[in-house]
Structure 1
Amino acid sequence: MLRDLVLGDPALVERLVARALLAALVPLALLALAAFWLAWQEGGCSLARPPEGTPAELVELYDRNPEARRFVLDYVAKDELVQPVDLSSLVGSREVPLLLQWDERWGYQWYAGQYLALSGCGPTCLSMAYVYLTGDPSFSPREAAEFATAHGFASDGNGSEWSLIPEGGSLLGLDVTELPLDEGRVRANLEAGNPVICVMGPGDFTTTGHFVVLAGMDGDSIVVRDPNSRSRSKMLWSYERLARQVQALWALRNA
């Protein structure tokens, strides 16, 4: 009877079809909206462009690193704000924490003739290792950059001198040992809980030079903390792939 009623009323058929389509499309629309919102929150929304007044070098960062887009989009509103830094939640962590050089809490700070977001990979890596080894959350990338500048490790236009890690680490009271490019030595240090800071040449991490932290082992693979990328920090890396790009490396311990 219902079938006969429906078939005899074309308008009712149209309404039922429309409702069925709406019921199917609404969840898809909500999912798309949620994905758009998450992309916006992460600064990865390609529809937004840096506002007028954003420095050209940050616009370039926006274009080449989607992960840093929110940082660039917020520049005009937050550049002159001194934001509080509280890393106390990292104290006691069993893993080297990931800190990013373009974090809004310190990325707008000037370092080595540029924004720390662009030039601060060295201080950010030293901060990650120091906080992990000592449990002292006061040495954030902001403080590490000020430390590097005060001790002559900042090089205008070039970021950080390599000596920031061995000499700067020693000044901070850490035991720093330069390692040969030897797989056994690297793995032994990581398995012992000693982070290894590397200078990387052109390859997966940079086209010029870049500091990263080898943070530990996951099976036979190496965990990397890249201060310029969450996504690369989530990847697992083989020693062979990393070794082709390493230019210098140091193991750090709490003296």
Structure 2
Amino acid sequence: MKKRLVFMIIILGLIGVQAKAQSNWYKQYQMGRRALASGQYRQASAHFLFSIRSHPKDSKRVRTYGMHFEAYFPHRELGVAYYYLKKYKLAREELRTSISQEPSFRATKFLDLVNRAAGEEVPVAALKPPVQKKPKGQTVQKPSVRGEQLIVGNKAIKLVGERMGIAVLPFENKGASKDLGDVVLDKMITVLVNQHRFKVMERAQLSKILAEQKLGMSGILDAATAARIGKGIGVDAIVMGSVMLTKNGSVSIDARVIDTESARIITAR
């Protein structure tokens, strides 16, 4: 009986150590993303290198602990950090590794930036999808272009066929109740998700990141700050705006879509 008890204690101890080791690489990855978002690129690269040593493959869905799965792109984010450090050769290697393991719009976009910064052209032929031949007697229907497609740009589809990453920030309340702002935020997220063209960050996950960055609404009123946060969390565009309740009882919504790389307003309504 005592031997069995000792054996069980040893097994449980080993499981605990293994679980800690398995989750540590993802904690390092999260620390790297936070450092990247705050512009600490050398520190971010150190965290990503640690993660890669323990878990070297980029994936849209990786088990972090138990039945918990998360997106995990250490090679891609390391390439982004190297890009900002102007280590273009290393950045190109990491971004190409990421694309070979798990293609993403963000990796392709930064590979394009790296090649341009290094004075090289993007190998477009390698990125374009195969041309579909038109069968005899049939016409190929062209996809309709809607406003949502213009917002994300056809570039995402042409390059890697992946949905564009978007995060919707809490809307600023101007003369409106907080509940109204929350309703608009939820509706905006629902509409984007239902388009099936966007990879929308969950509201709870975004709130956690904003809390870690110690940013409330007062800290994200300008496009540059929104772009910096969006770039750090790995999305391609940020939706932000305000809700105002007028004197006659009507609701006015001001929404802007900001490119996280250039901090430019893509569209506003």
TM-score (norm 2): 0.33
Query: Is the radius of gyration larger for structure 1 or structure 2?
Result: 1
